[in-house]
């Protein structure tokens, strides 16, 4: 039943305004602990977050001194009620600015947080939100899934560092894949089993009893996208499988000169040609160890996309095309 509670909801989010999935504080803490050195003296902007219910704002405001932040800014869309976040029922959007503890209690009190009205609706694409974006050093948020391409394009246009939540299928988007290939965007440390529980009361969660959490929805294939360097990104993937003498276990594609690998752990250590791997490989991608050649993901062929892969006349799942830079003899 998992697909019913994830893919269906992601698709419906494109035609409704229900693609506001609030991220759990525990997931935010788990990921952001790896980036502490990047935040010192920086302005952090959460531009898709109602600060009164956002766990991103909670995390940064309560860890403001520990991280050594310069300023925290958060903006939200018109509706400021958690259950009505995307229904445009409030007259004004707001933004908050926090510059740290003033009374010595190490708690972000309301009187220490500057609450200001926005003239518009608080959309991240609006002129006044873009002006706030220009002030920021690092953007950290969970943007709307249905606007992911546009959201990332804006971050790249204004040359911003970021840590954002997205779906792994975004890897195959033409615009996102190009950024990944040319090492401008990569994946962070990730969620447990690539699954996230989001606070969202618009949908029924069809997860099993062990995974079900009241008032939340489980979505599979959720990852963190970033352009901040991490230790993980430079860790070599240990390869155990041998290609030569085992060629029959690595069939070639009908429509591209590359061997197919169904699981990242089965990448051979001794093959110097092009290898097709699942898109989940990007989670293990180390640019020092591998080169991304392109991908086989859609029927729209371009300079980086070579069409869906076929083996013996059968179409298989999308593949990333790579070469091993450290081939062992």
Q: Which candidate, 109, 126, 146, 115, places its Cα nearest to that of 47?
A: 126
* Domain closes at, from 211, 231, 251: 231
Greatest distance between any 2 Cα atoms in the chain: 71
185 within 8 A of 201, measured Cβ to Cβ:
no
> How crowded is residue 178: how many other Cβ atoms within 10 Å of its Cβ?
15
The span from the CA of 69 to the CA of 47, in Å, is: 17
Averages of pLDDT over each 10 residues, the chain, 329 residues: 43 46 87 97 91 85 95 77 40 84 84 86 93 97 92 98 95 95 96 71 54 68 95 96 94 97 97 97 97 91 93 96 94
At residue 200, the pLDDT reads: 60
Structural domain includes residue 187: yes
Q: Let me know whether 158 and 251 are in one domain.
A: no
The encoded tokens of residue 18 equal: 């229900």
At residue 9, the pLDDT reads: 46
244's enclosing H/E stretch is none
Q: Which letter does DSSP use for residue 253 in this model?
A: P
How many domains, the chain?
Answer: 2
Q: Let me know whether 264 and 128 are in one domain.
A: no
* Domain closes at, from 231, 255, 280: 231
At residue 207, the pLDDT reads: 54
Q: Which letter does DSSP use for residue 190 in this model?
A: -
pLDDT tens-place string over residues 170-226: 999 999 999 999 999 999 998 877 767 676 655 555 555 556 566 667 778 899 999
The span from the CA of 233 to the CA of 285, in Å, is: 7
Q: Let me know whether 227 and 242 are in one domain.
A: no
Structural domain includes residue 329: no
28's enclosing H/E stretch is helix 25-32
The span from the CA of 44 to the CA of 71, in Å, is: 6
Owning domain of residue 297: 235-324
Q: Let me know whether 241 and 102 are in one domain.
A: no
Residues of the chain above pLDDT 90, percent: 63
Tell me how far apart the terminal alpha carbons of the chain are, to the nearest angstrom. Answer: 45
* Confidence (pTM): 0.86
Q: Let me know whether 195 and 256 are in one domain.
A: no
């Amino acid at each position: 039943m998992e697909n019913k509670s994830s893919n269906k909801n992601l698709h419906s989010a494109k035609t409704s305004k229900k693609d506001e999935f609030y991220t759990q504080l525990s997931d935010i803490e788990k990921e952001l602990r790896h980036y502490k050195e990047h935040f010192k003296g920086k302005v952090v902007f959460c531009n898709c977050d109602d600060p009164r219910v956002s766990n991103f704002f909670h995390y940064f405001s309560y860890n403001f001194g520990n991280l050594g932040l310069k300023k925290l800014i958060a903006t939200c869309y018109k509706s400021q009620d958690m259950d009505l976040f995307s229904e445009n029922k409030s007259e004004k959007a707001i933004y908050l600015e926090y510059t740290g503890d003033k009374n010595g209690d190490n708690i972000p009190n309301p009187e220490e947080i500057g609450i200001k009205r926005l003239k518009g609706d608080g959309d991240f694409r609006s002129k006044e939100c873009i002006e706030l974006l220009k002030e920021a050093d690092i953007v950290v948020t969970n943007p709307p899934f249905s606007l992911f391409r546009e959201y990332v394009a804006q971050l790249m246009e204004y040359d911003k560092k970021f840590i954002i939540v997205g779906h792994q299928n975004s890897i195959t988007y033409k615009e996102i894949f190009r950024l990944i290939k040319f090492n401008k965007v990569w994946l962070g440390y990730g969620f447990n089993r690539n699954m996230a529980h989001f606070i969202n009361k618009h949908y029924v969660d069809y997860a099993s009893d062990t995974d079900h959490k009241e008032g939340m929805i489980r979505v599979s294939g959720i990852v963190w996208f970033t352009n901040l360097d991490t230790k993980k990104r430079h860790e070599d993937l240990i390869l155990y499988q041998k290609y030569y003498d085992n060629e029959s276990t690595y069939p070639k594609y009908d429509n591209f000169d590359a061997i197919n690998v169904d699981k990242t752990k089965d990448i051979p250590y001794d093959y110097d040609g092009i290898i097709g791997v699942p898109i989940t490989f990007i989670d293990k991608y180390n640019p020092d160890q591998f080169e991304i050649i392109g991908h086989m993901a859609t029927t729209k062929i371009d300079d980086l996309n070579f069409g869906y892969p076929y083996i013996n006349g059968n179409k298989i799942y999308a593949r990333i095309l790579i070469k091993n830079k450290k081939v062992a003899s």
